[in-house]
Amino acid sequence: MGREVKVFRVSGVALFSPDSIRSWQPFSIDVRALKKEDAIEKVLSELGSRHKLKRSHIKILEVKEIPPEKAKYKYIKELERIRGWYIE
């Protein structure tokens, strides 16, 4: 059970349609996951639920592991400080 949670930056384009004009818009989301496939699944799920996008309207271009200090979101940085039941 020594699986370590990693931080991934997933970037790509999604077909958002605020009006009748549809356009592919870039996105970049940082997520915590055990492996690359889990990070992709989390991003597809979040974009689908938040913006009502179908998976066919989301194109993942790059997935890379990043150090937790470089994460864009504060909660990801804070979660990385927790070790067991103690906060460092």
3-state helix, strand, coil in the chain (%, to 5): 35, 40, 25
β-sheet bridge partners, residue 31: 8
For residue 41, the surrounding DSSP H or E stretch is helix 36-51
Number of domains comprising the chain: 1
pLDDT digits (tens, 9 = 90+) for 44-60: 999 999 988 999 999 99
Q: Report the CATH number that the domain containing residue 75 is assigned in CATH.
A: 3.10.20.10
Token pair for residue 64?
């890379």
The pTM assigned to this predicted structure is 0.83
pLDDT of residue 80: 80
pLDDT of residue 17: 78
CA angle 21, 72, 39 (to 5 degrees): 75
pLDDT of residue 3: 73
User: CB-based contacts of 61: which residues, under 8 Å, 6+ apart?
Assistant: 11, 12, 13
Residue 17 lies in a domain: yes
3-state secondary structure of 43: helix
Residue 1 lies in a domain: no
Domain range spanning residue 82? 6-87
Residue 41 lies in a domain: yes
Residue 14 lies in a domain: yes
